Amino acid sequence: MRFVLRKDLPEIKTNAVAFINGLEDDCEWEIQIKKYQRSRTHAQNNTLFGVIYPQLMEFMGLSGEKEKEELHEYFCGEYFGWDTKEIMGRPMHKPKRTTTTDTEGKKQALTKIEFSEFVDWIIRRASEYGCSVIMPSESHGW
């Protein structure tokens, strides 16, 4: 069960406490409490995959969904770091984390701020290689 306690809805906290009080006593339970942060938005994700990556792919001569996923994996590895393991005598590299999974491979999307920092880094990185990313705005008719 997951509760997001909101200052404007105190009844959620009441419900969470009631839920905890209703747990069976014959088992052990783990309860985690952490500060709530909104995860990235669909608009942020759409901007990365639908606006930024297509421009980078055109600049690099890449095409198709497979190469878009490879580009995303590359940026995740460069930004978050790489893990290397050996399979049949050959090194295999994969990002330590992605925008949707943590370093343990568990589902954990980046927060809005973390995702924004990641996207900003990609845009700066692209500009270092001579690719100017045009972001959507009314002046571009988007």
**3 state SS of 21:** helix
Query: Do the beta carbons of residue 107 and residue 101 sit within 8 Å?
Result: yes
* Confidence (pLDDT) at 138: 53
- Check residue 129 and report its DSSP letter: T
Once rounded to an integer, what is the mean pLDDT over residues 30-34?
A: 85
| DSSP alpha helix (H) spans, the chain | 10-21, 42-47, 53-60, 64-80, 112-128
Two tokens at 119? 């996207």
Once rounded to an integer, what is the mean pLDDT over residues 99-123?
A: 93
Among residues 124, 140, 134, the alpha carbon closest in space to that of 47 is found at 134
Residue 140 has pLDDT above 80, yes or no: no
Higher pLDDT, 141 or 61: 61
84 phi and psi angles, rounded to 5 deg: -125, 130
Going from the C-alpha of 95 to that of each of 10, 17, 22, 104, the distances in angstroms are 40, 39, 41, 11
Residue 142 has pLDDT above 70, yes or no: no
Residue 139 has pLDDT above 70, yes or no: no
Question: Please, what's the b/e burial string for 58-76 (b: 16 or more CB within 10 A of its CB; e: otherwise)?
Answer: eeeeeeeeeebeebbeebb
pLDDT, averaged across the chain: 90
* pTM of the predicted structure, to 2 decimals: 0.72
Give dist(CA 7, CA 31) in Å, integer. Answer: 20
Once rounded to an integer, what is the mean pLDDT over residues 63-86?
A: 96
